[in-house]
Amino acid sequence: MSSLSYLESVYEYIYSIPVIEILQENFTVISISLYLLWYLRAYLSTTTLLAKEGSIMANLTEKMPSIHSGYRPTFWCAPSAFNTVIFAIIQRCIKHPYKRELLTCPDGGIIAIDWANEDAPKKAILLVLPGLTGHSKDNYVTHFVDEAIKTGCSAVVMNYRGISIDLATPRTYCATNYDDLDMVVQHIHNKYSDRKIIAVGISLGGIKLGGYIAKQFDDCLISNAMIVSAPMNIFYSCKELEKAHNFFTFNKILARQIGRYFSKHKHLFENDERYDCAAIAKCISIRDFDTRFVSKQFGYKTCEDYYRDACLDAKIQNIKVPTLFLNAGDDMFSPERAFPIEKIKANPYTAMVWTKHGGHIGFCEGILPTGCNYACRILKDYLNNILNETN
């Protein structure tokens, strides 16, 4: 018997087995049943709170209903990729009547900050630091601003250089340079010295915020911080994002976005021999962009040196500002294996709300997740508790 005939006979035998026929005829029902079983497990998964017993953060978080009720993902977009993508597409954007203020940096660069509810009755300001290419009109940012307004606070969003405004000088931004953030914080404090500054950083904004408060130690003008979906260890994040299913869904798309950002301002960098502008504009991954452009711009010898400096897990012990982390275990930008659990539990100023599901910034809830997500609920409780402690 030829090998081809043998394979054909094996194929016919396999498909003559009743179990195979049953699977073929009931594929849809079986698939839906398996998904519902998986979702039931996801729905019932516990939300973990990591905090040092008796610490300032343990006392602050024990009064937050959103932590104890836990996170319950939307049933039709519970998987990580769906949670992340669906949230970004479907969550409505709240239109705030922002009042824009332009700040000039010492090197001539310009930063736009957008104020909402500036004359709020409560003496607290929420400073929002968006993600990699985020700005004040992104849907998730507008919902954080809305939560601040609902609690009676003012809100101000920091837009990074070249975001929602033209880049004025040949300098952009990165995860480890805090000059612009410090200038914004100082400006807010000088303008409203009687108000408490509470900051929330999302993704890249979380890395910047975490690194900033760790560097400031006891002299920080930020009284409390919340960090959402921030990569804890950039090397683990890169490995996860460079897996095939994440590379084409997230990594390459983000690389295109930051490539377009660079192309828009390319004329400012064309005479700098450090950069191959044509190659930078065509980068196909975040690591590629950071290697060719970001690390060189901010004085790092290699991209690995830049990433090592950006890792939050190495800075947890230096944080002396009450800080709440919110991370999902299935976040492709911040995988669970990178969480510095013991360091967070050892520091009385840090706590982490750790959900098994939620994706990156997603945390979709409800049948149609167009409004407030779990991160918004956490922020609302956190703000209320901080304000109550102040009172």
Q: Does domain 47-233+314-390 have CATH number 3.40.50.720?
A: no
Across the range 71-81, mean pLDDT stands at: 83
Q: Work out the pLDDT band at 218, boundaries 50, 70, 90.
A: confident
- pLDDT category at 241 given cuts 50, 70, 90 is very high
Residue 39 Ramachandran class (φ > 0 left, ψ -120 to 50 alpha, else beta) = alpha
* Arithmetic mean of pLDDT, 10-26: 53
> SS3 string of the chain?
CCHHHHHHHHHHHHCCCHHHHHHHHCHHHHHHHHHHHHHHHHHHCCCEEEECCCCHHHHHHCCCHHHHHCCCCCHHHCCHHHHHHHHHHHCCCCCCCCEEEEEECCCCCEEEEEEECCCCCCCEEEEEECCCCCCCCCHHHHHHHHHHHHCCCEEEEEECCCCCCCCCCCCCCCCCCCHHHHHHHHHHHHHCCCCEEEEEEECHHHHHHHHHHHHHHHHCCEEEEEEECCCCCHHHHHHHHCCHHHHHHHHHHHHHHHHHHHHHCHHHCCCCCCCCHHHHHCCCCHHHHHHHHHHHHCCCCCHHHHHHHHCHHHCHHHCCCCEEEEEECCCCCCCHHHCCHHHHHHCCCEEEEEECCCCCCCCCCCCCCCCCCHHHHHHHHHHHHHHHHHC
- pLDDT, tens digit, for every residue of 361-379? 999 898 888 999 999 999 9
**Structure confidence at residue 39 (pLDDT):** 62
Confidence of residue 74 (pLDDT cuts 50, 70, 90): confident
In the chain, the percentage of residues whose pLDDT exceeds 90 is 77
Please give the structure tokens belonging to residue 294.
């970001």
Q: What does the domain layout of the chain look like in residue ranges? A: 47-233+314-390, 234-310
Lookup: tokens for 77: 């977009």
The pLDDT-based confidence of 391 (bands split at 50, 70, 90) is: low
Q: Could you tell me the pLDDT band of residue 80, with boundaries at 50, 70 and 90?
A: confident
Q: Give whole-number Cα distances, 80 to 231, 281, 294, 356, 370, in Å.
A: 15, 29, 28, 10, 17
Query: What are 93-136's pLDDT values in tens digits?
Result: 999 999 999 999 999 999 999 999 999 988 999 999 999 999 99
Residue range 149-177: mean pLDDT, rounded: 96
Query: Does the pLDDT value for residue 19 go beyond 80?
Result: no
Per-residue model confidence as pLDDT tens digits over 182-207: 999 999 999 999 999 999 999 999 99
What's the chain's length in residues? 391
- pLDDT band for position 46 (cuts 50, 70, 90): confident
Within 13 Å and on the Cβ side, how many CA atoms surround 166? 4
Mean local confidence (pLDDT), 29-44: 62
Asked if residues 328 and 360 have their Cβ atoms less than 8 Å apart, the reply is yes
- Residue range 331-361, pLDDT digits in tens: 999 999 999 999 999 999 999 999 999 999 9
Q: What is the mean pLDDT of residues 309-313?
A: 97
Q: What is the mean pLDDT of residues 302-310?
A: 98
- Of all residues in the chain, the percent with pLDDT exceeding 70 is 88
CB atoms within 10 A of CB 264: 13
Degrees (nearest 5) of the Cα angle 340, 173, 180? 90
pLDDT bucket at 312, cuts 50 / 70 / 90? very high
Residue 1 scores a pLDDT above 70: no
- Matching residue, tokens 């006979």: 9
Separation CA 15–CA 208 (nearest Å) = 57
Overall average pLDDT of the 45-59 stretch:
92
Is the pLDDT confidence value at 216 over 90?
no
**What value does the mean pLDDT of the chain take?**
90
Amino acid in the structure at residue 278:
A
Q: Which residues are catalytic?
A: 203, 331, 360
As a whole number of angstroms, the distance between CA 389 and CA 391 comes to 5
pLDDT score for 23: 47
pLDDT band for 2, please (50, 70, 90 cuts). Answer: low
What is the reported pLDDT for 330?
Answer: 93
